Structures are given as structure tokens and as C-alpha cells.
């Protein structure tokens, strides 16, 4: 490395260590040599020898000196080692400090990189969102035949007219995409008003069913990639009867049912063994992670304990087994999700309320509920109205009095019906609340008395539901009703079908175009009836002048112009 020591040279610390080791080795060798040079006398020699004690003292002195030298060298070696170790410790501490600093810096850099990555993702989502907003009024016509010198706006207007949207303003229209032999490029259309696009996308599938082209939304690259990412799974769900809508850059769905397992054993279950169908739960969690679904009730009630199923044994087992799993991007539209006590089932009812765009409705029309005729209070109310009208001479014209009497009866009936309906709804809410409170008590105090009270409240609530069922049967206009022959679902579906048949979903114009927008249908109906009942100039002369000039025979003159005879009257009455 430039500026360092020459290659092959040793550092100062290393040289000191080697020198100390060499001195120790030399001293050890010297001591061993001195010891070997001294001949060790045997016992016989000690006995026979007459040497002076000076020799022994000399040997001891020599040995003491050698030991002193060794101690001196050892002390020096110890000092050198201590110094070297101290310097090594300082170097290690410096490296440790540097390592800590580098680690802190790396953590800071990693945090910064993660922040930049998150910022990049956020910026990409923001850019995609802005691009999505810029394409908000766009749609694409796929498969439309390309013509030479074509007017793109005019062709788009023709397609829009077939969809049933008139007076639609187009800002721009042009062909888009690369040219591929044998395939027409998309016709990209940008509208001035978003509501026109909503109506077009809503009507396009039905209106263009017989055409060789179709209309799709204009998606960004990221949204198109996300849509294609799940195309195989969506097609499989579509074949199974499940339809998922792609909107706002993601697939959106609402799934509900009895899943027969609990997500959280601490919050979703009480009583019994702490176990569930773990395999089914893991499979469901994987699907939720894949399709970005959430348990919307738990999302809105993170720490609340509530259950949708209870066993009939004592002590009872209570679990939350019924869920609404909705797409995360749909959760903002969910107003509430609540549990209602079940009547003829061991499961509670779960309901989900979402906010949608509502259509402004008119006053509608009123029908008398015939069940009021068996209500003595209502009959007494109507009798009093009739008697008061009979004694009222304000309207001398009988037809005017009759119309006013019907008006008063109608208003009184509507008011009375609303009060009775409000009373029934209040009673139903009270029973539902009572059952819910008793079930909460049952979770902690599982006794036969509580179960008996719940059963009584459920039977009383069942009477209210049977009353509703009678109204459903009447509104469904079933030709025959036999006890146990058809269930409630049958009549509900029949009522729904009859209600749908009274609604104009789409209307075909004289031009052959279809319209399905409520406003457009109402405008067309208003136009037809306005034209039908409008008065205009009438010239009767052509009608009367065009009549054939024929006269009645003399035989029929008396029969036509004469007075009626008693015989003719009796003949007509036969």
C-alpha cells in the first residue's frame, strides 16, 4: 500500500516479540549447557572424595547467578510482553471503536436506503395515481376496423351512440399503440365528463354484445401489470361463478360465510379446548395475503370479544366462525359490520353496510296494507273520518266530497301505517338487543335460565319475521301458498324477480341504440308521453268530409231516432 513499510519488513511490535523469544531461548540453552558441564557425583564418589566444600559452594553460587540471570530475563520478557499486550489491547480497542462507528454508519446507511426505497415506492405510487387520474375520463375501443382517412372522433361518436349515450362531448380521439400486421390499433377516446364514461362502461357489454369490437378501461402500465398478474386466478373464480371487479389499480371483492375456524384463539373463542382447524386457517391466511383481503370486523373491532356460534351443551363453547373478508382497498367504503342474533340457527347473522352512489328516487305510489282492515283501531279511525265527512257540508258537490274523503283516508292510512311500522321496528330492535345482551351474559354465566330467556325472546322475534314473511308472500304474488311447501328464500327471490321486472333496465330507441342510464330512460319516457299528450292544431274537415255519404233506411229511422219502448228495455235487461 503506498506510504506503508517495505514488503517483507516486520513491525516494531513483532520485532520486540521475536527478540524476547530469542533471548529466552538463548538463556535456556546456556543454562542447560552449564548444567550438563557439571558432572553429578555418585554416592560412592561422595563417600570417597575428599574434595573441599568450596567446590559445592562454587556450584551453588554459579547456579544462583544463572537463576538470577533467568529471573532478570524473565522480568524483561514479562515487561516486553505486557507492553506488547497493552499495545495490542489499544489497537484492538481502536479497531473495536472503528468497527462500532462503521456499524453505526452501516445501520444509518441501511435505514437511509430503506427510506429511499420506501420513498421511491411512494413516489411511484403517487406518479401512477396521478397518471391514473389523468386517464380517468379515457376508454379504449378494441377491435374497431381501421379505415383510411378516418375521422377518429366521428367513429367514437358512432360507437358511443350505440352504447346509448347521447350528446357526449369528446375532447380527443386517436389511434394508439404500435402497428401489428393483421390487428387494428386501439382507438383511445378522452371524454369531457367522467359520468359519461361511467355510463358507457356500464352499458358497453350489453349494447356491443353482437359487435366485433368492445370497450375497455384505459389503464396505466402498473395497473395493467397488476391486472394481468392475477388473470389466471380471476378466470378460475369467474368460471366458479365469482366475479371480481378491477378498479383503482387492484382487484376488489367481498367474501362472506361460515369458515368453521377461528383466527385468534384468545379473542374469537371461549370455552372448550384451545384448538381449531389450523390447516384451514393457514390456507385462508395464505389466500388473504395473496389477494390482500382483511377480516373487516376485526379490523374495526381489534380488541372486542364477540361470537357468532354457540354450542347447546353446558358449559357452552362460543366461537366467531362467520366472517366478511373484503379487499383492503374496499375497506374505506365499509360503514359498519354488525352481528344480529340468529333465530332458527345456532349461528348469528352478520351484516355489512357499504356506501354506494344512490339514485334519487321520486315519491313512488302507495298501496293499502289489507292487514290494517283487521286492526280495530284503524277501522275506528276510518269510521270517524267517514262520519265527520258526512256531516261536513263544505263541499256540496258529491264528487268533490268523495275525492276529498279518499284523500283524507289515504293520508290517515299512510300516517297510521308508518306509526305501526315504526312500532314494529322498535320492538324488533328491542328484541335483538335483548337477545344480544343475554348472549353476552351467557358467555360468562352459562345457565339454563339464561338459555330459556334467549329462547323466549327468539320465539317472540320469530313472530315478527313471520309477519314480514306474509307481506313477502303477498308482494311476490304467489298463486298458491301451502304451509311447508316453499321456504322464505323462495318468496324472497320471487319478490326480487317481480320487483326487477317492474324496473326498466335498458331501453331501445327508434334508432336502434340502447340506453340504460336512469336519467336517459326517464328523459325518453318523458319525451314520449309529452308528445303523446301534447295538444296541437286539429282540422276536423278532412275527417268529416271523408265519411261515406250513406243514409239509414226508413225501417231503422224509428229504431234509431224514436223513444225507447218498454219492450226494448226489458229485452236489454234479459
The pLDDT of residue 483 is above 50? no
Averaged over 453-481, what is the pLDDT? 70
- Choosing among 3.40.50.970, 3.40.50.300, 3.40.630.30, 3.30.70.1820, the CATH entry for 132-225 is 3.30.70.1820
Averaged over 132-160, what is the pLDDT? 88
Taking the C-alpha atoms of residue 304 and residue 145, their distance in angstroms, rounded to an integer, is 59
pLDDT of residue 327: 81
Q: Indicate if the alpha-carbon torsion angle 415, 416, 421, 426 is positive or negative.
A: positive
The pLDDT of residue 40 is above 70? no
Q: For residue 76, what is its C-alpha cell?
A: 524483561
Sheet order of strands, 318-319 included: 269-270, 318-319, 309-310
Between 53-62, 225-234, 429-438, the lowest mean confidence (pLDDT) is in 53-62
Strands (E), 272-427: 293-295, 309-310, 318-319, 322-327, 334-340, 349-354
Averaged over 304-326, what is the pLDDT? 84
Using a pLDDT cut of 70, give the percent of the chain over it: 78
pLDDT of residue 487: 53
Q: For residue 370, what is its C-alpha cell?
A: 289489507
Q: What average pLDDT is seen over the chain?
A: 78
**Peptide bond preceding 165 in cis form (omega within 30 of 0):** no
Looking at per-residue pLDDT, the higher value among 144 and 487 belongs to 144
285 phi and psi, to 5 degrees?
A: -65, -35
pLDDT of residue 8: 47
The pLDDT of residue 46 is above 50? no
The pLDDT of residue 502 is above 60? yes
DSSP 343: S
Long-range pairs for 119-128: beta carbons < 8 A, 24 or more residues apart: 124/222, 128/220, 128/222, 128/223, 128/249
Q: Where are the domains of the chain?
A: 12-130, 132-225, 253-354, 374-476
pLDDT band at 479 (very low <50, low <70, confident <90, very high): very low
| Helix extents (H) in 135-253 | 152-163, 194-207, 221-229, 231-239
Which of 434, 428, 442 lies closest to 309 in space, CA to CA? Answer: 442
Q: For residue 384, what is its C-alpha cell?
A: 270517524
Averaged over 547-560, what is the pLDDT? 70
pLDDT of residue 485: 52
Looking at per-residue pLDDT, the higher value among 177 and 559 belongs to 177
Using CA atoms in the order 487, 492, 498, 500, what is the torsion angle rounded to 10 degrees?
-150
Using CA atoms in the order 563, 569, 571, 574, what is the torsion angle rounded to 10 degrees?
160
How crowded is residue 132: how many other Cβ atoms within 10 Å of its Cβ? 17
The reply to whether 253-354 shares the fold of 132-225 is no
The pLDDT of residue 320 is above 60? yes
Contacts of 488 (CB under 8 A, 6+ apart): 469, 472
pLDDT band at 438 (very low <50, low <70, confident <90, very high): confident
Taking the C-alpha atoms of residue 403 and residue 388, their distance in angstroms, rounded to an integer, is 15
pLDDT band at 1 (very low <50, low <70, confident <90, very high): very low
Taking the C-alpha atoms of residue 397 and residue 515, their distance in angstroms, rounded to an integer, is 47
Sole residue written with cell 311476490: 476
* CA distances (Å), origin 158, targets 162, 201, 334: 6, 15, 39
The pLDDT of residue 145 is above 80? yes
pLDDT band at 480 (very low <50, low <70, confident <90, very high): very low
pLDDT in tens, 174-218: 998 888 888 889 999 999 888 888 888 888 888 888 888 899 889
pLDDT band at 13 (very low <50, low <70, confident <90, very high): low
pLDDT of residue 2: 46
pLDDT in tens, 347-394: 888 888 877 655 566 666 777 888 888 888 999 999 998 888 877 766
Looking at per-residue pLDDT, the higher value among 19 and 226 belongs to 226
CATH topology of domain 253-354: Deoxyribonuclease I; Chain A (3.60.10)
pLDDT of residue 27: 61
pLDDT of residue 189: 92
Using CA atoms in the order 236, 238, 241, 242, what is the torsion angle rounded to 10 degrees?
100
User: Is 0.75 topped by the overall pTM?
Assistant: no
Length of the chain: 574
DSSP 67: H
The pLDDT of residue 50 is above 60? no
Long-range pairs for 288-294: beta carbons < 8 A, 24 or more residues apart: 288/325, 291/230, 291/233, 291/251, 291/253, 291/327, 292/250, 292/327, 292/328, 292/329, 293/253, 293/255, 293/325, 293/326, 293/327, 293/328, 294/325, 294/326, 294/327, 294/328, 294/331
Q: Across the strands, what pairs with 256?
A: 324
DSSP 394: S
pLDDT band at 23 (very low <50, low <70, confident <90, very high): low
CB 341 within 8 A of CB 458: yes
Between 261-270, 302-311, 490-499, the lowest mean confidence (pLDDT) is in 490-499
Sole residue written with cell 224509428: 558
Amino acid at each position: 500500500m503506498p506510504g506503508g513499510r517495505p514488503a517483507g519488513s516486520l513491525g516494531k511490535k513483532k520485532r520486540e516479540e521475536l527478540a524476547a523469544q530469542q533471548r529466552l531461548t538463548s538463556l535456556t540453552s546456556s543454562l542447560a549447557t552449564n548444567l550438563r558441564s557439571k558432572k553429578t557425583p555418585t554416592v560412592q564418589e561422595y563417600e570417597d572424595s575428599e574434595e573441599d566444600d568450596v567446590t559445592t559452594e562454587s556450584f551453588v553460587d554459579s547456579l544462583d547467578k544463572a537463576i538470577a540471570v533467568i529471573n532478570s530475563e524473565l522480568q524483561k520478557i514479562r515487561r516486553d510482553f505486557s507492553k506488547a499486550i497493552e499495545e495490542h489491547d489499544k489497537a484492538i480497542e481502536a479497531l473495536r471503536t472503528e468497527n462500532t462507528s462503521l456499524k453505526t454508519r452501516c445501520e444509518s446507511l441501511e435505514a437511509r436506503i430503506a427510506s429511499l426505497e420506501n420513498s421511491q415506492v411512494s413516489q411511484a405510487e403517487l406518479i401512477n395515481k396521478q397518471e391514473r387520474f389523468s386517464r380517468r375520463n379515457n376508454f379504449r375501443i378494441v377491435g374497431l376496423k381501421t379505415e383510411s382517412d378516418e375521422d377518429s372522433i366521428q367513429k367514437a361518436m358512432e360507437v358511443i351512440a350505440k352504447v346509448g349515450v347521447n350528446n357526449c362531448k369528446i375532447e380527443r380521439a386517436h389511434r394508439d399503440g404500435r402497428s401489428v400486421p393483421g390487428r387494428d390499433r386501439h382507438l383511445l377516446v378522452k371524454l369531457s365528463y367522467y359520468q359519461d364514461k361511467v355510463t358507457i362502461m356500464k352499458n358497453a357489454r350489453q349494447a356491443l354484445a353482437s359487435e366485433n369490437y368492445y370497450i375497455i378501461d384505459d389503464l396505466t402500465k402498473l395497473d395493467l401489470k397488476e391486472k394481468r398478474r392475477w388473470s389466471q386466478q380471476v378466470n378460475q373464480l369467474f368460471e366458479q361463478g365469482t366475479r371480481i371487479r378491477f378498479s383503482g389499480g387492484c382487484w376488489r371483492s367481498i367474501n362472506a360465510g361460515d369458515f368453521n375456524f377461528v383466527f385468534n384463539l384468545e379473542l374469537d373463542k371461549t370455552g372448550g379446548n384451545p384448538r381449531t382447524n389450523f390447516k384451514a386457517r393457514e390456507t385462508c391466511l395464505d389466500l388473504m395475503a395473496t389477494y390482500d383481503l382483511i377480516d373487516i370486523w376485526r379490523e374495526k373491532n381489534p380488541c372486542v370479544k364477540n361470537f357468532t356460534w354457540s354450542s347447546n351443551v353446558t358449559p357452552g363453547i362460543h366461537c366467531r366462525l362467520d366472517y366478511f373478508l373484503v379487499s383492503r382497498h374496499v375497506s374505506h367504503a365499509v360503514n359498519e359490520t354488525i352481528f344480529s342474533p340468529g333465530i332458527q340457527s345456532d349461528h348469528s347473522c352478520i351484516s355489512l353496510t357499504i356506501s354506494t352512489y344512490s339514485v334519487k328516487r321520486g315519491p313512488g305510489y302507495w298501496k293499502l296494507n289489507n292487514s290494517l282492515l283487521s286492526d280495530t283501531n284503524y277501522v275506528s279511525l276510518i269510521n270517524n273520518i267517514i262520519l265527520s265527512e258526512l256531516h261536513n257540508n263544505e263541499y256540496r258537490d258529491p264528487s268533490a266530497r268523495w275525492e276529498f274523503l279518499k284523500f283524507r283516508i289515504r293520508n290517515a292510512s299512510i300516517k297510521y301505517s308508518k306509526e305501526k311500522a315504526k312500532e314494529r321496528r322498535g320492538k324488533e330492535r328491542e328484541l335483538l338487543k335483548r337477545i344480544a345482551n343475554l348472549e353476552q351474559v351467557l358467555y360468562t354465566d352459562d345457565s339454563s335460565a339464561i338459555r330459556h330467556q334467549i329462547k323466549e325472546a327468539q320465539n317472540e322475534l320469530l313472530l315478527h319475521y313471520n309477519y314480514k314473511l306474509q307481506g313477502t308472500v303477498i308482494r311476490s304474488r304467489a298463486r298458491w301458498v301451502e304451509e311447508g311447501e316453499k321456504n322464505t328464500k323462495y318468496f324472497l327471490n320471487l319478490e326480487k324477480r317481480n320487483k326487477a321486472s317492474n324496473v326498466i333496465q335498458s331501453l331501445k330507441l327508434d334508432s336502434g341504440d340502447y340506453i340504460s342510464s336512469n336519467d336517459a330512460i326517464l328523459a325518453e319516457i318523458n319525451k314520449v308521453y309529452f308528445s303523446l299528450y301534447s295538444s296541437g292544431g286539429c282540422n276536423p274537415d278532412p275527417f268529416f268530409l271523408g265519411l261515406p255519404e250513406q243514409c239509414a233506411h226508413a225501417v231503422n229511422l224509428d229504431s234509431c231516432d224514436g223513444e225507447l219502448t218498454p219492450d226494448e228495455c226489458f229485452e236489454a235487461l234479459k
